[in-house]
Homo-oligomer: A and B are copies of this chain.
Amino acid sequence: MQGFTLDERLQRDSALIATLGLSELRLMRDKRWPWLLLVPQRPGVSEVFDLAPLDQTMLTFEINEVARALKEATGAEKINIAAIGNMVRQLHVHVIARFEGDANWPGPVWGHGTAEPFNEDEMAALAHKITEAMARS
């Protein structure tokens, strides 16, 4: 996408697992929770209402597809979805699988403790489960 460059912190903290119509779908390098990011490939956007109307609708579609697939792939108790961006201003939407008894349940994941990295095999296996669930829907 012309002019779009992924924020350095998002790049470092997550890995690309698919490119959707609007967004990069990325998996956070933190095995405490199955935690995805959707990053719309649009330059200079930090609030959802700064997106063009059609992009807003596409983002909603992508969030819902990804959230449903994440729930199906993981059997999560609840999916948490958020656009926060107090630290990284490039618009990115969190889609996170939560389980009773997980780290910080029922509190939020943001700002809690420090990331626990996956090994590459674990990360690839989770990414595969999620993209498979997306392909089925």
Interface residues of A (CB under 8 A from B): 46-49, 56-57, 59-61, 63-65, 67-68, 71, 77-87, 89, 98, 105-108, 110-111
Contacts and interface: CB of A to CB of B under 8 A. Distances in A.
A86 B105 contact: yes
A67 to B, nearest CB: 5
A114 to B, nearest CB: 14
Nearest to A109: B108
Top 10 nearest A-B pairs (CB, nearest first) are A86-B106, A82-B82, A107-B111, A60-B60, A49-B64, A49-B68, A108-B110, A81-B83, A80-B84, A108-B108
Nearest to A102: B86
Contact of A110 (B60, B81, B107): B107
11 contacts: A47-B78, A49-B64, A49-B79, A56-B61, A56-B64, A59-B60, A78-B86, A84-B108, A86-B105, A87-B106, A108-B111
